[in-house]
Structure 1
Amino acid sequence: MFNITPVVRALLILNVIAYLITAVSPSVLELYGLHSFLSDLFNPIQLLTHMFLHGGFSHIFSNMIGLIVFGPMLERYWGPKRFTFFYFFCGLGAALLFSGVNYYEMSAVYEAVRDYRAAPTPDGFSAFITEHAGAYYDQMAQFIDSYQAQPTNPDYVQGSLRIVNKLFGQQVDQPMVGASGAIFGVLMAFGLLFPNTELFLLFPPIPIKAKYFVIFYGAFEIYSGLYQQAGDNVAHFAHIGGMLFAYILVKYWNSQRKTFY
């Protein structure tokens, strides 16, 4: 059905093998998924290894379908070496943009944690929960009321510190995994190089030119990243990063066409 090229085949096999390993040993996700720069679990190698890990079957299935559908045409156009470089360039670029945005967002939380550790008070605890863990406020309401009533009680002071540290850890230690950044880079390159190729969508079942599909998807990811809804655990800025780095590299290569061979 698909005329799969050598590099695409190798990437497909590596991703499937990594998925099977994580199915047997889920701790691999914690070790090699990409953690925040602020996390004690961060390791530079995760900038690469996260690209081969996935959080579930639907996650890897959608990414590998994208690779199989759009990757071979790019590999045949560029050749194996250039396509391989492009794939990892986009994946690393996606990881860096995601990590940069994550660092910016988490830095504010880290500052709030540090300030609270230095001077724990009931009002400070209530403000921290409201600003940085609003989804947990109702669960904490009784504790907050008790803490307000006994502000110097060491049990409540230490309890509040444990809660703050735990909530921060839950946010900063959550790993990002998946080949989505590289795949979105592949999608962007396909739209740039083959803009008038018609893609037939399943939902809705209509044909659409690749350039319009890429524009729509890019706009959707930017909107989703800027206005991320509670409970949305999709790394939208990784997708944006993959598309952005793909755009830069394709435009650069197109400006250097004399080096193509």
Structure 2
Amino acid sequence: MSRVPDIIKDIIIINILFFVATISMQNIDLGAMFNLHYFDNPNFKPWQLVTSMFMHGSIGHIFFNMLALYFFGTPMVQVFGKNKFLFFYFSAGIGASLIYLLERHFEFTGAVDALINMGSSKQEIHELFSLTKSQLYSQLPNNNVGVLIAKSYGIYNMQMLGASGAIFGLLAGYAWYFPNSEIYLYFVLPVKAKYFIPVIVIADLISGLTGQPLLSPVNTAYFAHVGGAVIGLIMAYIWKKNQYRMY
């Protein structure tokens, strides 16, 4: 990795350290501290908007995110420089989390309001959120009320983790700055960035709207991906347009 910018190495190392700590310190729930929680949950802390970017759930999760950071982050550091790259990376990641939380909030309030309209009280609903998943599902009615309770419970107790929001910001920025560069699909089929990256983002948008996975796996925070890409594209557009202006 001799030609990889130091800042890319540093981010990869920090991610690896977080991952090793997570799997080695089983007696400490690092996820409760560092994963992103729904902001109405008492486990939510503002720093999770940053720390969740360094948390990963599996070797495959961290491997593919860091591989993307290596391939797409390296040329973006060369374009932006270290400090500007860091601002871009964290802005995309934090922006992705905020957009995802906003989308979750709309889903959550919609489900809770529907339950209240069906006769449940807000206190009764929130009492269910403190149950374990097995306790909840053992008494869940098999009807629309049960569906709404499960939905609101899942959002309230959600934990989001991973660098994917920031990575999608980098992907969007890369496509804007290097639209005709070729990305080798499965290391064989060359596809230009201006075609390949929008397809990924649009696929995740469709998955987020329909709940059906297309390119990204199940349980993906689709709107975090889309949000990161939108933030990255906006920043790349503004910066490229004003590339001769001092920052």
Corresponding letter in the other structure for 2:208: G
Distance 1:219 1:170, change over 3 A: closer
What is the match of residue 143 of structure 1?
Answer: none
What is the match of residue 43 of structure 2?
Answer: 41
Whole-angstrom CA distance in 1 between matches of 2:164 and 2:206: 17
**Are the aligned partners of 2:173 and 2:233 in contact in 1 as well (CA < 8 Å)?**
yes
What is the match of residue 252 of structure 1?
Answer: 238
Moved more, 124-133 or 37-46: 124-133
Corresponding letter in the other structure for 1:57: I
Q: Tell me how far 1:87 sits from its aligned partner.
A: 0.3
Match of 2:208 among 194, 204, 225: 225
The correspondence of residues 1-261 of structure 1 with structure 2, limited to 5 A, is 3-25=3-25, 27-112=29-114, 115-117=119-121, 126-133=143-150, 168-202=152-186, 205-229=188-212, 232-260=218-246
Any unmatched runs of 5+ in structure 1?
134-166
Corresponding letter in the other structure for 2:200: Y
How many pairs align?
225
What are the superposed Cα offsets for residues 50-101 of structure 1, whole Å, 9 maximum, x if unpaired? 0000011110011000001111111011110100110000001100100000
Corresponding letter in the other structure for 1:233: N
CA RMSD of aligned residues (A): 2.5
**Are the aligned partners of 1:116 and 1:125 in contact in 2 as well (CA < 8 Å)?**
no
Whole-angstrom CA distance in 2 between matches of 1:216 and 1:229: 16
**Are the aligned partners of 1:53 and 1:177 in contact in 2 as well (CA < 8 Å)?**
yes
3-state SS of the aligned residue for 1:207?
strand
**Are the aligned partners of 2:160 and 2:221 in contact in 1 as well (CA < 8 Å)?**
yes
**Are the aligned partners of 2:112 and 2:148 in contact in 1 as well (CA < 8 Å)?**
no
Distance 1:96 1:171, change over 3 A: closer
What are the superposed Cα offsets for residues 82-126 of structure 1, whole Å, 9 maximum, x if unpaired? 001100000011001000001110112333555524698xxx984
Any unmatched runs of 5+ in structure 2?
125-140
What are the superposed Cα offsets for residues 142-178 of structure 1, whole Å, 9 maximum, x if unpaired? xxxxxxxxxxxxxxxxxxxxxxxxx744441120000
Corresponding letter in the other structure for 1:87: Y
Q: Over alpha carbons, which structure has the higher Rg?
A: 1
Moved more, 32-41 or 188-197: 32-41
Q: Tell me how far 1:184 sits from its aligned partner.
A: 0.7
3-state SS of the aligned residue for 1:192?
helix
**Are the aligned partners of 2:35 and 2:55 in contact in 1 as well (CA < 8 Å)?**
yes
Whole-angstrom CA distance in 1 between matches of 2:109 and 2:222: 19
Whole-angstrom CA distance in 2 between matches of 1:16 and 1:119: 41
3-state SS of the aligned residue for 1:196?
coil
Q: Tell me how far 1:217 sits from its aligned partner.
A: 0.9
* Higher normalized helix content (fraction of residues): 1
What are the superposed Cα offsets for residues 208-245 of structure 1, whole Å, 9 maximum, x if unpaired? 11111111111111111111139921001000011000
Distance 1:118 1:28, change over 3 A: closer
Distance 1:101 1:195, change over 3 A: same
Q: Tell me how far 1:260 sits from its aligned partner.
A: 4.9
3-state SS of the aligned residue for 2:120?
helix
Corresponding letter in the other structure for 1:5: P
Corresponding letter in the other structure for 1:129: G
Whole-angstrom CA distance in 1 between matches of 2:94 and 2:144: 36
Moved more, 58-67 or 31-40: 31-40
**Are the aligned partners of 1:113 and 1:168 in contact in 2 as well (CA < 8 Å)?**
no
What's the TM-score once normalised by structure 1's chain length? 0.79
**Are the aligned partners of 2:104 and 2:155 in contact in 1 as well (CA < 8 Å)?**
no
